[in-house]
Amino acid sequence: MKTVVLAVVCAALAICASRPSDTFETSAGAVKITPIQHASLMIEAGGKVIHVDPVGPEFYEGLPQADLILITDIHGDHMAPPTIAKVKKAGTTIIAPAAVAKTVTEAQVLGNGESKTLSGWTIEAVPMYNLTRGPSAGKLFHDKGRGNGYVLTYGGKKFYIAGDTEGVPEMRALKNIDVAFVCMNLPYTMPPDEAAEAVKAFKPKVVYPYHYRGSDLAVFQKGLEGSGVEVRLRDWYAK
């Protein structure tokens, strides 16, 4: 039994060690961001842990539980109750749109345009939706108002998490974003060239492509050459 437990612990530590994290300095201290997988990421600052769209319990072995969980949408690659149960603890706050709260009933509802302050973070819900793409004529994969992107502000720095969206006007109108996580995958969101055009409109200092399964990131990178936006590529699909 001890051998089995030791093997599990070692495997968990190996998974954690293989995940590269980036740190951003703010006036309130460092913010550490760790890609988990696909649309999931972990943010640490001020002794608090935020898990965004936690999906896949196996990806969270050895990771700290959440003080705050943010969920963007109802789709299974963003909302996964078994994983939420794994990463939450007593006192965890969950913030989500109303459509998510129908399933994750303990969630505090935050709608597009609303904001909340928690543990030094200001959390603003912003629109994420499709303009043209959907499963059939007259239907969209993501209707306006159903899901949330989030702009998180901490120590004077702004972090934007796009969620599933095309390059909507609300994204293009964002101001003073320091770090952005922007999706790109077809057919559900947008291709890399469209994502690059949207990023050029709001000009974050740093952008990470995420939620990009099957996309050509070289196209995204090339589309932002000369824009002044730093593109950082990370492997969101490491085993």
Q: Give DSSP secondary structure letters for the chain.
A: -HHHHHHHHHHHHHHHHTS--EEEEETTEEEEEEEEETTEEEEEETTEEEEES---GGGGTTPPPPSEEE---SSTTT--HHHHHHH--TT-EEEE-HHHHTTSTTPEE--TT-EEEETTEEEEEEEE--SS--SSTT--SS-TTTEEEEEEEETTEEEEE--S--S-HHHHT--S-SEEEEE--TTTS--HHHHHHHHHHH--SEEEEES-TT--HHHHHHHTTTSSPEE----TT--
pLDDT tens, 31-72?
999 999 999 999 999 999 999 999 999 999 999 999 999 999
The pTM of the full predicted model, rounded to 2 decimals, is: 0.92
pLDDT in tens, 83-118: 999 999 999 999 999 999 999 999 999 999 999 999
Encode pLDDT of 113-158 as tens digits.
999 999 899 999 999 999 999 999 899 999 999 999 999 999 999 9
At the top level of CATH, the class of 21-231 is alpha beta
